[in-house]
Amino acid sequence: MKVLKFGGTSVGSTKNLLKVINIVDIASRTSNVVVVVSAVGGITDKLLQAANLAIQKSRAYKDVFETIKTNHFDIIEELIQSGSKSNIETILQAHFNELEQLFDGLYLINELTPKTTDQLLSIGELMLSNILTEAFLDRKFDVALKNSQDLIVTDANYTKATVDFENTNENVKTYFKACRASISVIPGFVSRSHNGNTTTLGRGGSDYTAAIIASALDAVELQIWTDVSGLHTANPKLVKQAKPIHNISYQEAVELSHFGAKILYPPTIQPVLNKKIPITIKNTMNADDAGTLISNNNSNENHLPVKGISNINDIALLTLQGNGMVGIPGFSKRLFESLAQEKINVIFITQASSEHSICFGILESDAEQACNSINAHFENEIKLHKIDPIIVEKGLSIIAIVGDRMKSHQGISGKVFSTLGRNNVNVRAIAQGASERNISAVIDKKDVKKALNTLHEQFFEVKTKQINLFITGVGNVGARLIAQIDKQKKFLKQHYKIKLRIIGLSNSRQMLFDENGIDLNAWESQINNGETASLKGFFNAVSTLNLRNSIFIDITANDQVANMYQHYLKQNIAVVACNKIACSSDYEHYNTLKQLSRKYNVPFLFETNVGAGLPVIDTLNHLITSGDQVRSIQAVLSGSLNFVFNNYEDTNTFKDVVKQAQKEGYTEPDPRIDLSGVDVARKILILARESGTVMNLEDIENTSFLSKAGTTSNSVNEFYQTLTDDENHYRDLYNSATSKNCQLKYVAEFNDGKAKVGLKEINEDHPFYNLKGKDNIVMFYTDRYADQPLIIQGAGAGAEVTASGLFADIIRIANN
């Protein structure tokens, strides 16, 4: 004998009922079957809607009732093809007459009691079982219908009746011993009390009906047919990478279900669990899917320590604490008795070993009632200050990591909490049973999706790390970075198990977000249709999405954007900055950002601040962390200025070269930023600070090579005019250098805690002399590199290399 249960959306339409018929047909070819069918979640929702309208004196209940009636007769018309429909129509009409009387009565008395609720809902169950039976008969199946109210005996606790198993088991065995049909149809969820009144079995009641029947008959299998293909490693609606679980133990299934896996309600499967009857969870809409087998066999096809992750939302955490609890027996007993008296279910418990506090989790809807009850029970102790009034925290969720094999694997707890910590998921309370089958943690509700995805990535995915990028500034460099990411994303996933997704983009006008990842082939058109950009709006969107492994990337030269870094770091969002303003701002601000990075264990990288894509800062940091001491730095740090002076010759003018540099993207739109030397001063300041020196921008000596008119110009156009007017000034600098067989280079120097920048004539013996094009060069003189400096040289300007430097910082974070 097999027991098959169908319910919810899997019986909510003619199409789905036809699938149920086909599934039962196949199953009945090899075994007698009991079909438990339930309308809970379908017809019952409409019945309750009509009832609530009736008690609110709304005549609209009649419209809902007529809709229910029409739907049922439509199903009959579609489902019953060959035989007469008169018999089932007569049966249904009798049920509808009863329903109409109930609704009219509710309209008059304005009250829906638990007893009436059970009467109302039972009619929906009985109608569905009648329809399905008639459909089987129409197809010449060997079928019998039995009202489960004649079998399942309960007390009179309406809507949550308790089963009398002794009488129920006897009734089931007696009926099925006499029943000769190969298919038996039974309505789920409904029962009858000892005194003959209609009752229902509460949450999960239809599963409970099936489990009761299966247990009484010692069935070989209980199949629960739903609208999903079994249990998953996590909630598929929250974790897209969730995978079906093909095999799971009873204990694992109960743990996952207790903590939110909605396919099963643990109390309802207790009857079959006691007899170790296998349970299979299958999908009515995809009957060929393997589904999940729940059995006593603790097989694990992947040999993974963790079988699944689940969660419960809308949790309140209550804490009873006080010095008067220490060493005094009875506090726990009184606490939980007070909750039991109010019929409040405790989901989560943890207690400090000091006995100073007890912490427990309940549904948020029960919090106020629990608080009042506990404070009343401990009123005397609270007055005497032996304990504190109960502390209530709301807006929380519980996540649970479940697996029988966890106890034989070391370090599972460490992986769980380090993974959550790296993603700024604060854990409020922790509980782990002695069986080590379950690790539970209470977290903020807003962090649930991030926590589930992070843990799922850690324990179930092929170590592919998903990195979520949010880019502000999508001009020349930003566009190159997006193109590089698009080109390399498949390579990174295949070879380095890194999955890069750009979730947010912003320019100065619009911003665009897509939680599933922006289409990198259409981002330019999409951002033009995005929402109005704002720094606060962008930050709020990033924070609200709350995705794991998030990185904010600043490719602007905007001081207001730089001022947002601290907010991102505090949210455990990594920052990659092309913008030099933050790291060259007041030392106190720079130091605050570095401290926040350490405090929240979140990366703050700015390699492209110096040398574009050259590994200058990374190399410097390795020198410092390995114990070396920087004594001197000499560098040409402006690819723009190097390009200008390398191309300034007898055959052109200084203005022509500056214009060319701007056109080729080597200078900022305002070339005064580059030619004033401030940009170079910022760079040497950053290197000095990263070397361990406390210094501000005003401490750097900046000797400008610009003419007086050039330094005081008020606009870009005015500045270009000064270059024309003062060509002789720049020609004199050039002639002076060439007369000495020297090259002009704009040099940054750091020596003995002091820094300066300025134009220098470099002789042919110096490493700077042959520096070509837009190249940068940095020479580190350290304790280890005292005689021959450590030299880094290469392209130090240009959108492509700058984008590659940003890309490198992203990969550094991904590999962290």
List residues with catalytic annotation.
683
2 vs 32: CA distance, rounded Å: 6
Cβ-Cβ contacts under 8 Å for 655 (sequence gap 6 or more): 720, 723, 724, 727
Cα atoms in the 13 Å half-sphere on the side-chain side of 206: 31
35 vs 39: CA distance, rounded Å: 13
Q: What is the dihedral of CA 64, 67, 73, 75, to 10 degrees?
A: -110
Looking at the DSSP bridge assignments, the partners of residue 18 are none
Helix (H), strand (E) at residue 40? none
Residues 539 and 519: beta-carbon distance below 8 Å: no
* DSSP assigned state of 446: G
714 vs 721: CA distance, rounded Å: 11
561 vs 538: CA distance, rounded Å: 10
Cβ-Cβ contacts under 8 Å for 401 (sequence gap 6 or more): 306, 309, 412, 416, 438, 439, 440, 455, 459
Cβ-Cβ contacts under 8 Å for 598 (sequence gap 6 or more): none
529 vs 573: CA distance, rounded Å: 26
552 vs 565: CA distance, rounded Å: 8
Amino acid at site 46: K
794 vs 614: CA distance, rounded Å: 7
Q: How far is CA 181 from CA 20, 29, 217, in A?
A: 18, 13, 15
Q: How far is CA 248 from CA 217, 245, 266, 292, 342, in A?
A: 23, 7, 14, 7, 35
**Maximum Cα–Cα distance across the chain:** 118
How many beta carbons lie within 10 A of that of residue 269, not counting itself? Answer: 26
* Residue of 128, 136, 130 whose CA lies nearest to 82: 136
DSSP string, 470-483: EEE--SHHHHHHHH
Helices (H), 275-366: 331-341
Residues 243 and 303: beta-carbon distance below 8 Å: no
588 three-class SS: helix
359 vs 346: CA distance, rounded Å: 11
632 three-class SS: strand
* Residue of 7, 2, 345 whose CA lies nearest to 207: 7
199 vs 213: CA distance, rounded Å: 17
* Residue of 88, 90, 92 whose CA lies nearest to 80: 88
Q: Torsion-angle region of residue 385: left (phi > 0), alpha (psi -120 to 50) or beta?
A: left
How many beta carbons lie within 10 A of that of residue 29, not counting itself? Answer: 9
Residues 675 and 641: beta-carbon distance below 8 Å: yes
Task: Note the Cα 298 to chain centre separation in Å.
Answer: 30
* Residue of 739, 804, 746 whose CA lies nearest to 774: 746
The three-point CA angle 231-234-512 to 5° equals 135
